[in-house]
Amino acid sequence: MEQQVILLVEDNPDDEVLTVRALRKNNILNEIVVARDGVEALDYLFGIGIHAGRDLSRQPQVVLLDLKLPKLDGLEVLKRLRADPRTALQPVAVLTTSNEERDIVSSYQLGVNSYIRKPVDFNQFSETVRQLGLYWLVINVPPPTYG
Amino acid sequence: MSDPIREAAPMRISPLARRLVAATIAASTVVALLATAFQLYLDYRRDLGQIDATFNQVSQTYLPTIANALWATNRHEVQLALDGLKQLPDVQYVAVHEGATLWAEAGRRNAARVQSRDYMLTHQHRDQLLTIGTLSMTVNMDGVYQRLLEKFWIILLSNGIKTFLVAGFMFWLFHWFITRHLQKIAGFAARLGSENLNQNLRLDRPTQKTPDEFDQVVDGFQLMQSNLKAALEALKQDIQARERVEEELRQLNAELEQRVADRTRMLQEQARIIDEIHDAVISIDMEGFLTSWNLGAERLFGYTATQVLGRNSCVLFPNTQAVLDPQRIQDGQAFEAPIQRKNGEILYAHLSISALHNADKQVCGYACYALDISARKQAEALAARRATELEASNRELEAFSYSVSHDLRAPLRGIDGFSQALIEDCGSQLDQTGHEYLHRIRRAAQRMGLLIDNMLRLARVTRSEMHYTQVDLTALATAIAMDLQASKTHGGSSIRVQPGLSAYGDQALLHIVMENLLENAIKFTSKTPQPQIAVGVEQLNGRLIYFVRDNGAGFDMAFASKLFGAFQRLHREEEFPGTGIGLATVKRIIRRHGGEVWAESTLGKGSTFFFTLPNSQLADATYPLDNATA
């Protein structure tokens, strides 16, 4: 069985490092693909642009999606994923700093699977990421692979 | 209207009978006179006849004697014969003439009324008849006339007496059989009125075998009376009906007059209202010319009625076409339009135009109600500008909050995360002081994160929309207490919540209020040996006052005014940690509900935080504090 991939969409390099560190420290050793803006994330998921020709049968086990992103923001990315039949069922967890109500509501309206707020306290953050990884990679049953 | 029945004139005694009698007497007298005259004439003729007979007798008896005596010239014998003639009744004078010579005579000629006759005295001598003389005889007519006169008086007297007697009898008869009944009838008829219509006419006479004219009159009277009765009854009913109708008519008239008066009063009142109404009320005819103008119009437009009546409404409305749009008038829509004052100033007015109809339901003009809304328009424009500004400012604030929420926290997480990474990865290279510093960096970062969160929450409390519902405060407070008790921050306080607490407000915001107040209470009782916290409600002057009471550290009332200001703290961080935003948030939420929040405290003995929610009903909080649960 192939290693499951995690797509981390994160523009802040600090957050990227801390997130990856937290995952690794919690023994989540899956491949982590990082997209640094919304366009890059879509390129990866649809196999276009810089990811042209990618094998689309291997989609991420979960997309960890920040909301505040350059070019296309996280909500727009989410909207496009849900609009395309190939990615309509893709598990997406918003992992963001914001706890603005409108972000939470919009995310769920667009069909997000989970909404997680990044705590400032790294210990809490680490714990959150551990649980996240455990849930999405081990506990959660993903939709059947397609494409 | 109704003449009193005229009494019959006092009756003289049977004037009718008297007239009848007089006529009878007159007629009888004429007839008697004629008869008397006729009789007298006959008597006169008879007397004349007797005289003629006397003359004939003379001629037959005495003439031969006298003629013989004359012939014989026996004067004595002639004288005897003449004396004999003289003895005949009424004979006054006899004389014999022989030729012209008086031969013998008897009596004297002394009466005026006489009749004379001359006879030829003849004598047969030898075959020759000789006239030998003339006998003249004069008869006195006085006797005849005297007799006639006597007869006349006798006849006249007897006829007069007879006539008088007959007339008297006739008078009595007439009176007895006719006039007294007529008088009675007349009296009865005169007395006959509506009140004695049932009384019958009865004549004072025996019953007749065959009914005569009087019986007919009596019958006629009875018939007339019964007819009169019927007519009177009908008349009475007619009159009653007429009176009823008249009464109804009077009432209708009175009602009508009342309505006319009311209507007039109403019209006057309306006219007065229209004139005194503050706003302009004007009317316009079909051609757009002004036909009426009240004081409000004078104030609004600046024209007096005399200045403007008869002029076209285009002097008032810069866009008359649009103002008098028939479709809009028909729809009855009020609208706003610019108007022009006399001094040229353009104002904005709220216009309501209604069609006026004549008796044939034809539109004959328009009534226009105009209200100056320039001030409102300005206020609206100002308000709109303010709203736009506020919206922009809100948008900015929102963008700012959003940005803070995202961008300000990320670096903190970096600081905290990498400090931890440093401890984990390079901890062995750091001494105790280095570790200490790193922990301080992390605490500072975390505190800043908390500050940012609280600030954002404070901002959100102001921005968010209110959703009013009936909130079960007891359940809310109990749930929060349980959450807090489960967390580490809880110092084992006893939290008693009064059952049945209810409030009308925004559930999410009230959650924040209770959370903050309970957090505070727990925090400030953390150093109290037996911490007691109570949540409940009091009534004061019909107002519901909710409270959260603790027996914690309390604060100096001198600083009470600072308590609810943002970032204001009355304790040092080391004593009781906090951001100084919680109570500011509480105040803002209570204020948004239109309520008040305040606190009372005694240093070292505890504090009570009170708040009111004006929309909450008194009946909502019903349970006394005694039944509170721990």
- pLDDT at site A83: 93
Mean pLDDT of chain B: 82
Residues 94-123 of A with CB under 8 A from B: 96-101, 118-123
What radius of gyration do chain A's Cα atoms show? 14
**Residue A55 confidence (pLDDT) above 80:** yes
Average pLDDT over residues B106-127: 79
**Could you tell me which residues are beta bridge partners of residue B336?**
B350
Supply A77's token pair: 């990315």
Q: How far apart are CA B429 and CA B423, in angstroms?
A: 9
Supply B181's token pair: 């009944």
Name the minimum distance, in Å, from the CA of A97 to any CA of chain B: 5
Most confident of A71-75, A90-94, B556-560: A90-94
Q: How far apart are CA B233 and CA B239, in angstroms?
A: 10
CA nearest B315: which of B344, B291, B292, B287? B344
* pLDDT grade for B627, boundaries at 50, 70 and 90: very low
Q: Kindly state whether B411 is in contact with chain A, defined as any CB-CB distance less than 8 angstroms.
A: yes
Q: How far apart are CA B42 and CA A82, in angstroms?
A: 174
Q: Kindly state whether A15 is in contact with chain B, defined as any CB-CB distance less than 8 angstroms.
A: yes
B289-293, B447-451, B595-599 — which is least confidently predicted? B447-451
Q: Give me the residue label for tokens 């523009």.
A: A11
Which chain A residues touch B402 with a CB distance below 8 Å? Answer: 98, 100
Residue A144 lies in a domain: no
Supply B188's token pair: 């009865």
Supply A142's token pair: 């993903």
Q: B72 burial class (0-12, 13-18, 19+ CB within 10 angstroms)?
A: exposed
Name the minimum distance, in Å, from the CA of B513 to any CA of chain A: 18
Q: How many residues does chain B have?
A: 630
CA nearest B511: which of B550, B561, B560, B460? B460
Q: Closest CB to A100: pick one of B402, B418, B421.
A: B402
What is the chain A residue with the closest CA to B443? Answer: A121
Q: How far apart are CA B222 and CA B226, in angstroms?
A: 6
Which chain B residues touch A67 with a CB distance below 8 Å? Answer: 406
Give me the percent of chain B exceeding a pLDDT of 70.
93
- pLDDT at site B528: 82
* pLDDT grade for A33, boundaries at 50, 70 and 90: very high
Residue A16 lies in a domain: yes
Query: How distant, in Å, are the alpha carbons of B523, B565, B582, B601, B602 from that of B558?
Result: 21, 14, 20, 10, 11
- pLDDT at site A113: 93
Q: How far apart are CA B180 and CA B172, in angstroms?
A: 10
CA nearest B117: which of B35, B204, B59, B203? B59
What number of other Cβ atoms are within 10 A of residue B1's Cβ? 2
Q: Kindly state whether B108 is in contact with chain A, defined as any CB-CB distance less than 8 angstroms.
A: no
Residue A145 lies in a domain: no
* pLDDT grade for B63, boundaries at 50, 70 and 90: confident
Give the pLDDT confidence of B271-321 residue by residue, as tens digits.
888 888 888 888 888 888 888 888 888 888 888 888 888 888 888 888 877
B327-336, B357-366, B512-521 — which is least confidently predicted? B327-336
Q: Kindly state whether A147 is in contact with chain B, defined as any CB-CB distance less than 8 angstroms.
A: no
Residue A109 lies in a domain: yes
CA nearest B279: which of B334, B209, B214, B328? B334
* pLDDT grade for B567, boundaries at 50, 70 and 90: low
Query: How distant, in Å, are the alpha carbons of B170, B199, B417, B474 from that of B203?
Result: 21, 13, 152, 118
Assess contact for B155 and B36: CB atoms under 8 A: yes
- pLDDT at site B13: 62
Residue A146 lies in a domain: no
CA nearest B525: which of B568, B481, B563, B560? B481
- Whichever domain contains A127, its CATH number is 3.40.50.2300
Q: Which domain holds residue A82?
A: 5-139
Residue, of A113 and B465, whose pLDDT is higher = A113
* pLDDT grade for B115, boundaries at 50, 70 and 90: confident
What number of other Cβ atoms are within 10 A of residue A100's Cβ? 18
Q: How far apart are CA B503 and CA B472, in angstroms?
A: 7
Average pLDDT over residues B14-21: 76
Opening angle at CA B384, ends B381 and B386, nearest 5: 110
- pLDDT at site A110: 93
Q: Kindly state whether A30 is in contact with chain B, defined as any CB-CB distance less than 8 angstroms.
A: no
ipTM of the complex in this document: 0.76
3-state secondary structure of B435: helix
- pLDDT at site B619: 46
Residue A64 lies in a domain: yes
pTM as predicted: 0.45
Assess contact for A75 and A107: CB atoms under 8 A: yes
Which chain A residues touch B456 with a CB distance below 8 Å? Answer: 99
- pLDDT at site B11: 52
Residue B525 φ then ψ, to 5°: -100, 5
Average pLDDT over residues B222-243: 87
Give the count of alpha carbons within 13 A of B30, CB side only. 5
CA dihedral B14, B20, B24, B27 (to 10 degrees): 140
Widest Cα–Cα separation across chain A: 40
Cβ–Cβ below 8 Å for A18 and B409: no
A24-38, A82-96, B298-312, B319-333 — which is least confidently predicted? B319-333
Residue A147 lies in a domain: no
Q: How far apart are CA B47 and CA B52, in angstroms?
A: 8
Q: Total domain count for chain A?
A: 1
- pLDDT at site B573: 65
Q: Give me the residue label for tokens 């216009």.
A: B351
Which chain A residues touch B413 with a CB distance below 8 Å? Answer: 14-15, 18, 97, 118-120, 122, 125
* pLDDT grade for B39, boundaries at 50, 70 and 90: confident
Name the minimum distance, in Å, from the CA of A144 to any CA of chain B: 34
Selected for mutation to probe chain A from B416, B450, B458, B512 (highest A CB count within 10 Å) is: B416
Count A/B contacts: CB-CB distance under 8 Å: 67
Chain center to CA of A29: 16
Average pLDDT over residues B394-401: 79
For residue B39, what are the contacts with CB-CB under 8 A and spacing of at least 6? Answer: B151, B155
Residue A93 lies in a domain: yes
**Could you tell me which residues are beta bridge partners of residue B609?**
B548, B599
* pLDDT grade for B488, boundaries at 50, 70 and 90: low
A114-117/A92-96 β-pairing? parallel
Selected for mutation to probe chain B from A16, A122, A129 (highest B CB count within 10 Å) is: A122
What radius of gyration do chain B's Cα atoms show? 78
Q: How far apart are CA A72 and CA A40, in angstroms?
A: 9
